[in-house]
Structure 1
Amino acid sequence: MDLSYSDEELAFRDDVHGFLDAHLPSELSDKVRAGIALSKADHERWHAILNAKGWLAPNWPKAFGGAEWNAVQRHIFEDACALAYAPRIVPFGLSMLGPVLQKFGSKAQQNHWLPRILSGADWWCQGYSEPGAGSDLASLTTAAVRNGDHYVVNGQKTWTTLGQHANMIFCLVRTDKDVKQQEGISFLLIDMNTPGIEVRPIVLLDGGAEVNEVWFTDVRVPVENLVGEENKGWTYAKYLLTHERTNIAGVGFSQAGLAAVKRIAKSEMAGGRPLIENPHFAARLAQVEIDLMAMSTTNLRIISRAAAGQAPGVESSMLKVKGTIIRQEINDLARRAAGVYAMPFASEAVAGANDALPDPLQAGPVAKQYFNNRKLSIFGGSNEIQRQIIAKSMLGGGK
């Protein structure tokens, strides 16, 4: 699944691999490989290593402290990190809020918040979805009422990923109830330590609690924490979501997952032969690899447009849908390849078993990843809604 790289790009790839070999801590890569949840300290450690190298924000302009890499460089870096089992960089500050502040934030907001994202001084989470406003985000009801030099916020957000670690949250709030839904929304930056904020964990099917409910009761937010103009937040939200959906495609993670499936299928036997030689399994494996190659090329085109200052359009919805389908198919193939050994949720459950079992680092996380990644069809805008967006954009109008 390699591209035809120039000499300069090949040299860059060698630099990336050399950096990962020298600076990616084995304690972190072993955890990622084994499907063990990373702690806040683990994330912060890798964040700091990349920041010291100047590689933490590949998509940011150099003027804001980013690496300002082109699309191919980003592809090379993300592919290498995924295959090396590097921790995924938490995207909320770097990949979501950062681009919004760079395009719509005030100079004061850029000068204050962007360096803090890079340094790790702030851990951001995203306050978008609500119990009654998920895919139909414009129906959100969390309200912010202007009171002097503050907004007073009341309401609830849900599915807030890693909100238990965050000290800051960027939120969509309703600031005008008397206009069309999309026209009465604003974009606020809120300190999670403000009185009136409560974070409640949500336990998921795999037993983890990476998502949360966040409750706001008379939370006072300084007016200077409004990004852009009041009631223009929907414009900023759409810009952010196109970046989020492009990232959700997860090309590098799919490539790493596909490599893991092949390793398992080569060692597991079916009918006296390696599973990878089973015609039905091999056909499914080949199809997902073809789909991944096509998506990787499309992803590069969209990233290149974004690097040129263009926010991705309907293509980001296409990537979101196809990317999640591919990742879920790879998870299912891994589950089928590991068979009964995929049943434990934790790698510790198969440790010490007899030699007939696959490597626990392969079998242990399979079920957990399979169950956890069922969410991919829903977050970032459900696939059903994304298909409607694609249809309306490509075929026109529609109801």
Structure 2
Amino acid sequence: MSIFLFTTLLCIMQFQLVLAQEGRPALPAETAESLRVLQALHEAFPQQLNGWKVDDESKIEGIQWFHDGGAAVRYPFPHEYKITYVSDLSPAEAELRRKAFDREQKDMMTKVEELEASNRIEVQVWINYFEDQSHSSSQPQLRNFPPFDLTIWGAKASKLFLGNWKVSKSQKLDDGYETDCLAAKNPAASMGQIQALKLIIRCSSGIREEFLKKVNLKALKSLIGQNFLDQKIITSSTPVEQELARPLEGKNVFRYVIDGGDFSNSQVNIKHSESMEQAYLRNNHPDPKVTTNAVTRLLVQEDGDTQKRTPYPFADITIPFIRKTGEFEVLKEEEMSGKKATFALEINCWNGCEWSISAINIKVKVNKYDLVGGFVEGTFSGDGMAAFRPHEHTDRKPFPVKIKDGYFRIKRKADRY
């Protein structure tokens, strides 16, 4: 099963804790650079515009968290910004505009869409995103619109590109046209360098060019090539990942006994899998001295059963420490506020899960914690609560169960930052 399906299953299980998300906190230098770019974009777009008012805008604050912690190390540093304007016409002016649309010979749907588009301007800016795909009912118009390197002008929106963009593919489909654009990355550039910018404007075509005259296009152009983030700060503070010189042989193991209600000392044994069972460190800060947010995660899943539609068991446990052995307990969700440990077992899954088991009081003991390539090994037992098809909101009430003889031995995969 893919990581996407893993994520889908976790959504079904309704994990709400921030710690369930992959990633790490941003370094101060990353937060400062994010704030600098957002401030530059804020200043490039008009805050006072005759006939318009700002309805919504991205928060002008630096990024605090990377949900994919490796993104800041492996990929160019991305930035996103959005600002929306709504019409600020007087009632009399708004009525004149409506009547002007009514006088035109257009079908009702077109009139409604264009009238709405004439009362709203939506702007999005994407920095260091290198691909774009458009789908339109009619062939998009390519235009030369300085200082942009490439402009695609459509009936409802325009896309304007800076930073070595080109149309990589354009084809006619049964229901319209599909156009792909691609920006070339500079592999030798620092991850902090701004290489590509994509600007999307959604509004009436008659308003678009007039609005662009109010935007500081020179300021947008000047962002390309800027590099205020010293990549040495990032790479030098990223801990060197330790691995065993030779990975240990052996199969993954995850098993337990469940008793109570519909279960009578039922044995659950998750079949060995190399790809769907893993133990890894997550949310580790690039600064090795700051590990307060780091935890160890066990994800346990059988291979291939989602394709075969064969029911399978699943487990997800968060160990609230890293690179050591020890004991911890997981209590009811309402009693775990601010704590990092989690415990969830699922039984008979493939289209949702028939049974979901949460913790009332589960004790977990980690007896072995190898380097990457070795195993994380331990035991667990205690009191849980079993719910029947909770994603379907059935009338069956959850009931308490005993979890006994729990044992795991899971190969430790590469750490995630």
In terms of fraction of residues, the more strand-rich structure is: 2
TM class, shorter-length: under 0.3
Q: TM-score, normalised by structure 1?
A: 0.27
Q: TM-score, normalised by structure 2?
A: 0.26
In terms of fraction of residues, the more helix-rich structure is: 1
